[in-house]
Chains A and B, each alone.
Chain A
Amino acid sequence: MKQEELVEKLRKKDKEALSYLYDHYADAIYGVIQRIVVQTDVAEEVLQDAFMRYWNKIDQFDSSKGRLFTWMLRIARNLALDKLRSKGMKQHSKSDSISDNVSILDSKLHTETVTDPIGLENALKDLNDDQRFVVEQLYFRGYTQSELAKEYNIPLGTVKTRLRAAMVRLRKLIVP
């Protein structure tokens, strides 16, 4: 199903369309949420929350401004971050490496990765330490850029440019 068609059906309150959306994107969205809030039950709660929002707020999605997934990701990420703040939960310790993080998540939470996490790990290995650090913190730990800058005493501009450099690198690997 093309994005336009999917969005159109969602706007018409087509349950099948939401089912399709879930089947295609739930794992990706859940992966993002899960790495931010960590606790399985909380993560599933946020996932449900996110999909209800996709269902109810699809009219607010403007396809001229970008991909559907980006819109979904922003919503899920913000819900997860809100949950993290409201529960007074802290991001887990900075000492974990991304490989530890992925394997810990996989073993501890009994979730099966649909796709190969090793692929991601390898992709991240391609970055230098500084770049990998900002990607991990921002993407997998639920930090915002300004929080990260504050916490680690890195100028916000530096955080942004490192992330930029890392993403350019990753794009080459991920987007053919």
Chain B
Amino acid sequence: MNINEWINSGVIESYVLGELNQEEMREVEEMAQRYPEVQKEIEQTEEALEGIAMKAGLQPRQEVKSKILQQIERELKTDKQGLDQEPSPEKNTSEIQPESFKSMKLWQYWSAAASALLVLATVLAIYYRQQWQVTESELENYLAENQNLTQEYQALRSDYDKLQEQQNILSSPNFTQVKLNGTDVSPSAYAVVYWNAESEEVYLHSTGLPTPESGKQYQLWAIVDGQPQSAGVFDLQNQLVDMQEIQNASAFAITLEPEGGSENPTLEAMYVLGEV
């Protein structure tokens, strides 16, 4: 290949445009040193390209120049600070920092930040632990209180239910009220039986009876067809007691019997008696 062929191969244009690798560029530069005509070709091509670029120039917006100058200003400042930073043209935002910060090394930032964070975390941990303990004991109190209230409520609720039930009995037209008056054994004693002839339910109000001696229990009897029939033993209660069902009662009586009751009433110990 003679020198003219080489020149005409287009390698000079590639060289000027920057499309050659390091080795190829060195080759062209060596040729330029050796052959003045190559040097001349390169110069003319450069001139031509510059001429084309100048002719084909386009105007960027005004702010681009000021952005560049601002960035240079920043880099000059940081250079004076002795920070060797690679410029990053993508970052156009300037960070204004106090001078003392700039002199600190990066690890100092981190360790300072980490220490501050640790102290804060510790303080918060202690504070919240105390808060938690207080809260826990409070919670225990509330739970206990809640349990008491629940029990109380349940007791009241069942009382209420019973009262409601009794209210229904007392106000029901199907129940007959039978007053049992005291006998000679205990003249001041009294009791009240509520009897529903249809459903045969029997309820007893027994607070008017004297407290029985130990080992003894009151027993309710109904007189059915002239015969005493047990309606069950009972303890004194401040409410209506549900007794055994009775059919066709003509009268009711209460005797004091040995605990557990008897098959037949002990008439000497009849405390109250009342006819339907």
Q: Name B's A-contacting residues (CB within 8 A).
A: 7-14, 16-19, 29, 42-61, 64-65, 67-69, 71-73, 75-76, 87, 89-90, 92
Inter-chain contacts of A100 with B (CB < 8 A): none
Interface contact B58-A34, CB-CB below 8 Å: yes
Judge if A28 is at the interface, Cβ distance under 8 Å. Answer: yes
Interface contact A164-B76, CB-CB below 8 Å: no
Interface contact B18-A78, CB-CB below 8 Å: yes
Interface contact A164-B58, CB-CB below 8 Å: no
Chain A: which residue is nearest B25 at the CB level?
A65
Partner of A145, one of B19, B43, B90, B92: B19
Inter-chain contacts of B47 with A (CB < 8 A): 67, 171, 174-175
Known A48-B68, A160-B10; contact A174-B17, beta-carbon cutoff 8 A: no
Q: Name A's B-contacting residues (CB within 8 A).
A: 13, 15, 18-19, 22, 26-32, 34-35, 40, 43-45, 47-49, 51-53, 55-56, 65-67, 69-70, 73-75, 77-78, 102, 105-106, 109, 111-117, 119-120, 123, 138-140, 144-146, 157, 159-164, 167, 170-171, 174-175
Interface contact B44-A171, CB-CB below 8 Å: yes
Inter-chain contacts of A22 with B (CB < 8 A): 65, 68
Interface contact A73-B58, CB-CB below 8 Å: no
Inter-chain contacts of B29 with A (CB < 8 A): 65
The complex places the Cα of A164 from the Cα of B73 at a distance, in Å, of: 42
Interface contact B45-A167, CB-CB below 8 Å: yes
Chain B: which residue is nearest A53 at the CB level?
B89
17 pairs of residues in contact across A and B, judged by CB atoms under 8 Å? A19-B65, A26-B64, A28-B53, A28-B56, A44-B60, A48-B64, A49-B90, A69-B49, A69-B53, A73-B18, A74-B18, A115-B54, A138-B17, A160-B11, A163-B13, A167-B13, A167-B49
